[in-house]
Amino acid sequence: MDFYRDTKRHYWQCGQCDLVFVGQEFLLSASKEKAEYDLHENDIFDQGYRRFLNRLAQPLLEIITPPAKGLDFGCGPGPALQDMLQSAGFEMDIYDIFYAPHKAVFDRYYDFITATEVVEHLHNPHWELDRLWSRVNPQGVLAIMTKRVQSQAAFATWHYKNDLTHVCFFSESTFRWLAKQWGATLTFPAADVVLLQKP
C-alpha cells in the first residue's frame, strides 16, 4: 500500500510484513550503488566504527561461544567486524557483492551470520534473507543491524530514508513476521539490532 512520497521517491508498505520499500524504478544501477559505497570511510582500525559495530557484537557474544564459525554478510571494503570476531576466537568468512564476492559462502553452513547496515540496501530482501537463514545451523543466529521504521509520521523527517542506496526499511513488526515465518526466537537488544535464533 502507499506509505509515503517525497520529492525523490515513492515508498510502499507490504500489507503482510510491514516492510517499507521503494519501487523498482528507484533502484540504483550496480555502478552507481558502488560509487556511493566507495565514498564510505570504514577503516577497520577506527575505534569509533568498532564501537558502533560493538552494539551488535556484544549481545551476539553473549549467546555464541568459540569455536563457532561465522559469516559477515555485506562486510564492505573494511571488514572490521570480521577482525573483531576473529580476535574473540571465531572463524570468520566474509561476503560482499562488491568488495568480497565469494559466492562459495552460500554453499556452507554457519553458527552465526552478521549483517550490519546492509539489509536496507537489498533489492530483493525476502529472497536474500531466506538465503541467509538457510545457511544458519540449528541453534545458530542471524544478527542484523539496521535502523527501524517507527511510524509514518517519523518516517517523513527520517534522515535514513534520504540515502538513495537505502531501498527497504524494516520495523519491529517486519522482524516479528520474519521470526514467525522461520520459527525463530527473536530479541531486540538495541534500537537498531535484532537477533534471530534457530530452534
pLDDT digits (tens, 9 = 90+) for 101-147: 999 999 999 999 999 999 999 999 999 999 999 999 999 999 999 99
Which has more pLDDT, 41 or 113? 113
How far, in Å, CA of 198 to CA of 138, rounded?
Answer: 5
pLDDT digits (tens, 9 = 90+) for 76-100: 998 999 999 999 999 999 999 999 9
42 pLDDT exceeds 80?
no
How far, in Å, CA of 74 to CA of 83, rounded?
Answer: 14
So what's the pLDDT on residue 50?
94
Report residue 30: phi and psi, to 5°. -60, -40
Q: For the residues 36-65, what does the mean pLDDT come to? A: 91
So what's the pLDDT on residue 165?
97
How far, in Å, CA of 137 to CA of 42, rounded?
Answer: 29
Eight-state DSSP code of residue 199: -
So what's the pLDDT on residue 43?
79
Q: What percent of the chain has pLDDT over 70?
A: 100
Note the pTM of the prediction, 2 decimals.
0.96
45 pLDDT exceeds 90?
no
How far, in Å, CA of 114 to CA of 196, rounded?
Answer: 11
So what's the pLDDT on residue 44?
86
The burial class, CB within 10 Å (0-12 / 13-18 / 19+), for 125 is buried
How far, in Å, CA of 112 to CA of 117, rounded?
Answer: 16
Residue with cell 545457511: 135
So what's the pLDDT on residue 96?
97
The mean pLDDT value of the chain amounts to 96
The DSSP annotation for 53-74 comes to: HHHHHHHHHTT--TT-EEEEET
Q: What CA–CA distances, in Å, run from 38 to 66, 80, 148?
A: 33, 16, 24
The DSSP annotation for 160-173 comes to: GGGSTT--EE--HH
62 pLDDT exceeds 90?
yes
